[in-house]
Amino acid sequence: MNRRNFLKTSALGLAFAAAPISLSAATGPTATKAAPRSGRLNLSFEPYELKLRHAFNLARNQRTTTPDVQVQIEYDGVVGYGEASMPPYLGESVESVCKFLNSLDLAQFTDPFRIEDIHAYMESVAPNNRAAKASVDIALHDLTGKIMGQPWYKIWGLNPDNAPNTSYTISYDADPAEMNAKIDETAPFKVVKIKMGLDHDKEITEAFRRRFDTPICVDANQGWTDKQKALDMCNWLAERGCLFVEQPMPKEMFEETAWLRERSPLPIIADEYLQRLPDVRRAAEAYDGINIKLMKSTGMHEAYQMATLARALGMKVMLGCMTETSCAVTAAAQLSPLVDWADLDGNLLIANDRFDGIKIVEGKVTIPDRPGIGVELLG
């Protein structure tokens, strides 16, 4: 090849390399040309109450159900599924979520891949409403992944073999038979999360240790208000196979939590303190790691950014969930190869799941290979 032809060929290569790639034109790994899509986004939703298999006894409340809203976004005959789950501390309700979703005009968008623009639009409609925004975000990721014919862990370039074990959550119950039944259910899991922050923290730990030597992690749900007693508990738990303590003190007790972090033998993980991306840098001053949940982060888009920033700051990353169907839990699982710990058992804690999705195999998160977020509607 002479110099002129070489330069001509090189210039063409550079032009193709610099040209923007339209994801909306891709339908799968072998697609070469796709017909242009001319549809609009059609949003629909309905309330759905999640029924818990066991009562949840937490530091600040007890419940047997969780309010939920199921979401669909249709575009050119392709449907993406999403979900908003609303435990009490989030400050959202079925009424507030439905009101927010009713206020959205997604039909103005003709390209579902404009996820950043759609998030900016949702922020302009109303602040907060994190679970409501997450439901739209999850549905958009499901929709766009289906259009591309790929699950999101592949789109992000993640290795599913790096997904961690998930913990399984239990809480105290005054009924010994019910408490033993909860403990029995932990047998297949390699990590168990114990909800604490009540008057029975040592009692439930000892009851569990009489049965299993499985590593535990602890979620105090802001239930410890005395920093010295919190430190005493951390030392006590460290001697009993505990991996870390999640949100030991109220989120308002930031300085006390920083004091505890300096002295605790166990990593201190932020949950209720941490909501969205701007909280990550501040959390690094008092916590060793963060617990990312889609219902707090407004969905997968910002959750990915939070995990990336936390890693850059040298923090541990945990991926959690609320009590949710397999829709939202499987969406979160797409991020799981990025994290140190997973607590993706929310779908296992309910009796009326609507989806088939994430599987836990010998305690390990196993991500479906279906496109989008990887779920199928049951029935």
Mean pLDDT of the chain: 90
**Kind and range of the H or E element at 68?**
strand 68-75
What percent of the chain lies above the pLDDT cut of 90?
84
CATH of domain 42-152: 3.30.390.10
Report domain extents, the chain: 42-152, 154-377
Supply the DSSP symbol for 28.
S
Joined tokens for residue 165 = 């074990």
Contacts with 281 (C-beta within 8 Å, 6 or more apart), sequence order: 309, 313
Percentage helix, strand, coil, to 5, in the chain?
40, 20, 40
Instruction: Kindly tell me if the per-residue pLDDT of 17 is higher than 60.
Output: no
Instruction: Kindly tell me if the per-residue pLDDT of 26 is higher than 50.
Output: no
Confidence of residue 32 (pLDDT cuts 50, 70, 90): very low
3-state secondary structure of 10: helix
For every residue of 234-277, DSSP letters joined together read: HHHHHTTTEEEEE--S-TT-HHHHHHHHHH-SS-EEESTT--ST
| pTM of the shown model | 0.88
State the Cα–Cα distance between residues 126 and 298, nearest whole angstrom.
Answer: 13
Look up tokens 């505890």; give the residue.
Answer: 260
* Exposure of 293 in the CB half-sphere (CA atoms within 13 A): 27
State the Cα–Cα distance between residues 214 and 379, nearest whole angstrom.
Answer: 36
Average pLDDT of 345-365? 96
pLDDT of residue 328: 98
pLDDT digits (tens, 9 = 90+) for 255-273: 999 999 999 999 999 999 9
Joined tokens for residue 51 = 């029924």
pLDDT digits (tens, 9 = 90+) for 307-318: 999 999 999 999
Joined tokens for residue 237 = 């738990």
Q: How far is CA 71 from CA 26, 114, 136, in A?
A: 25, 18, 7
Confidence of residue 59 (pLDDT cuts 50, 70, 90): low
Most confident of 20-29, 51-60, 107-116: 107-116
pLDDT digits (tens, 9 = 90+) for 115-160: 999 999 999 999 999 999 999 999 999 999 999 999 999 999 999 9
Confidence of residue 60 (pLDDT cuts 50, 70, 90): low
For every residue of 94-110, DSSP letters joined together read: HHHHHHHHHH--GGG-S
Confidence of residue 20 (pLDDT cuts 50, 70, 90): very low
pLDDT of residue 87: 84
Confidence of residue 6 (pLDDT cuts 50, 70, 90): very low
Supply the DSSP symbol for 36.
P
Supply the DSSP symbol for 25.
G
Looking at per-residue confidence, does 174 or 242 come out higher? 242
Contacts with 206 (C-beta within 8 Å, 6 or more apart), sequence order: none
pLDDT of residue 131: 98
Q: How far is CA 100 from CA 119, 295, 303, in A?
A: 13, 15, 21
3-state secondary structure of 4: helix
Residue type for 36, please? Answer: P
pLDDT of residue 61: 63
Cβ contact 292:316 at 8 Å: no
Average pLDDT of 293-306? 98
State the Cα–Cα distance between residues 297 and 317, nearest whole angstrom.
Answer: 14
Confidence of residue 38 (pLDDT cuts 50, 70, 90): low
Average pLDDT of 169-191? 94
pLDDT digits (tens, 9 = 90+) for 228-239: 999 999 999 999
State the Cα–Cα distance between residues 342 and 165, nearest whole angstrom.
Answer: 6
State the Cα–Cα distance between residues 230 and 150, nearest whole angstrom.
Answer: 45
Q: Looking at domain 154-377, which of 3.40.47.10, 3.40.50.1370, 2.120.10.80, 3.20.20.120 is its CATH number?
A: 3.20.20.120
Instruction: Kindly tell me if the per-residue pLDDT of 325 is higher than 80.
Output: yes
Instruction: Kindly tell me if the per-residue pLDDT of 343 is higher than 80.
Output: yes
